[in-house]
Amino acid sequence: MAKRRRLSVPDTKELKEIEEGFAAKPSLNPFEGSGVTPPIAQVAAEAAMLNGMTSVTDRAALAKDQGDASKWRAAQDAGLVAEKLPIEAIDPDFIRRDRMVEDEEAMGELLESLRENGLRTPIEVTQSGESYGLISGFRRLVAFRRLSQTDPRFAKIPAFVRQAGTGQGAYVSMVEENELRANLSPYERGRIAVLAAGQGVFSSTEEAVDVLFAAASKAKRSKVRSFALVHEALGDVLSYPIDLTEKIGLSLAAALRSGAQLELRNALVASEPNDAKSEWAVLNAALKSLNQPDKNKSRGGRPQQVQKLTSVALSGGGKVVGELSANEVRIRIQIEDVSVEEAQALLEKIASILT
């Protein structure tokens, strides 16, 4: 039979040590209040706190991402984000070009620069159905097309996609770029104003000059109008128009305002100049042969001005504009899709009215 163990009664010191030990341990009774937090509760609290901090961080990051995305979309809509577009998807003849000829030497330099350094300034285009219409960067696009024939790196070109359409904004962008990069000749400035007005983008050549060359001085815009008149009156019979100096162009414009269009045109048609110098000799001889009108003191000696007539809109689109000078009436009909036969019949109709 196992020997029983006798239990001894703890003394006062032992009881005090036991009591202090219980006081140092957390209570296992959930209904008892205690200032000591169980370990599992501490872990849960710390996890909740970290989760809350993560949520704040995530929300801040999300807000920043959303803000950045919004700015990106706004920049893209404004045409400030360059995109790589296939060169075959871009129409270079979307609007009439202001520059008439290209300098092959300058083109060669551009080709070499693109090979070595790539394109630093994207071209500008606008959406046109499934493709894109070129606004500015004609030379860069031509260069990319040449290079793409032997180098696949140039199959796509960086471009800003603007919301310019075919309106005034497209022409302003084109002219501004060429004025900054390589100045247009005086004749090219006048010509593009006439072409833009002829396409109905502007109500008149005068408005086109004011808008396209808004940053120019009043005197410079006046000179552009003079070259616009030269293009309207002589553009189709001039062989070297962009070589006209400012002095020559202003002389021609003054003669045209005095009614010398017919004499100047006849002189140009009868000649076959080999270069700009010989063409100017023909024009100069024609100017000298003209009978200069007497100066009108009331007008400060200025030559007689051409009086513009009120334009007439056509029901099918286009319009008829006219000018009256001392010895002729100039009529221009702005209309598309007219055959040679229809144009000839129109001339005969006008002649029958005047005879």
Give the residue carrying structure tokens 């904004």: 169
Which two tokens mark 41? 């509760």
List C-alpha distances in Å: 132 to 20, 105, 146, 224, 315: 88, 28, 19, 30, 31
* pLDDT score for 122: 86
DSSP notation for 164-203: -TTSHHHHHHHHHHHHHHSPPPHHHHHHHHHHHHHTTSSS
pLDDT in tens, 161-190: 877 554 556 666 666 555 444 567 888 888
pLDDT in tens, 304-315: 556 777 878 887
Pick from 107, 183, 185, 95: nearest CA to 142: 107
Helix (H) or strand (E) holding 257: helix 246-257
The rounded distance, in Å, linking the Cα atoms of 305 and 326 is 9
Per-residue pLDDT 10s for the chain (355 aa) are 555 666 565 666 665 666 666 555 555 555 455 555 566 666 666 666 666 565 555 655 666 666 666 665 665 555 567 889 999 999 887 766 656 566 677 788 888 888 888 888 888 888 877 888 887 788 888 899 999 999 999 999 998 887 755 455 666 666 655 544 456 788 888 888 887 777 677 788 888 888 888 888 888 889 999 999 998 888 888 888 888 889 889 999 999 888 888 889 888 988 888 888 999 999 988 888 875 555 454 444 444 556 777 878 887 777 888 878 767 788 888 887 788 888 888 888 888 887 7
Pick from 232, 238, 234: nearest CA to 273: 238
Instruction: Delineate the domains of the chain, giving CATH numbers in brackets.
Output: 62-167 (3.90.1530.10), 184-291 (1.10.10)
pTM of the full structure: 0.47
* pLDDT score for 92: 84
